[in-house]
Amino acid sequence: MPFPHAPRARTGPRRRSLLAVAPTALLAAGCSAGSRDVGPAAGSPSPPASERARARAARDSRELAERYDAVIAAHAGLAQRLGPLRENAVRHAKAFESLGTAAGSASPESPVPAGAGPSASAPVPSASSPVPVPAKEKDALSGLAAAEREIADRRLEALLDAPAELARLLASVAAAGAAHVFVLTEG
């Protein structure tokens, strides 16, 4: 025996109203999308924004390497502890820079010098003024940890709008920065 149909209360918009509103919504979306640069695929961030994020991440890594250099110069006893962290910062800068050249865009920033590879101990030349270093080792380490934390947070925010490859690199380098903070504060 079949059950009688129970009357259903309608929730939400009706099909006719959706069909009437859809062309207007598409027209409005089309008009507002023209003000932005359209990327290679629909829904992807504009290349200039991703390029700015990539260049910023490379610059942050180079500046972080400069901070490590300044602390190592001021506190020679920390050289063995900070050397690997500094080398990671240099590698991160190179990774961000090579990501830009691999994507076919020239890096607006100057590349890390050829001698500043992972095994090099030469400092990265600074275009800006030298970073002040606290007199106490503990304060110098706290300053480095704060810089690492700030940059890692900035990278986590930037990865939300970044294309897939850049987002993966930003996430990986932000995780390394968090590990650096742990080494600097607990190690």
Determine which of 6-10, 46-50, 121-125, 168-172 has the lowest per-residue pLDDT on average. Answer: 121-125
CA distances from 5 to 8, 9, 12, 103, 126 (A): 9, 12, 20, 60, 78
Report how many helices (DSSP H) and strands (DSSP E) the chain contains, helices first.
5, 0
Residue 98 reports pLDDT greater than 50: yes
pLDDT per residue as tens digits for the range 122-174 = 444 444 556 789 999 999 999 999 999 999 999 999 988 899 999 999 999 99
pLDDT per residue as tens digits for the range 110-120 = 444 333 333 44
Q: Which residue has the tokens 């063995």?
A: 80
What pTM was computed for the model?
0.63
- Percent of the chain having pLDDT more than 90? 52
Per-residue confidence band for 48, with pLDDT thresholds at 50, 70 and 90: confident
| Encoded amino acid at 31, one letter | C
Rounded CA-CA distance 181/187 in Å is 9
Residue 12 reports pLDDT greater than 90: no
Nearest of 144, 177, 133, 141 to residue 158 by alpha carbon: 177
Rounded CA-CA distance 56/59 in Å is 5
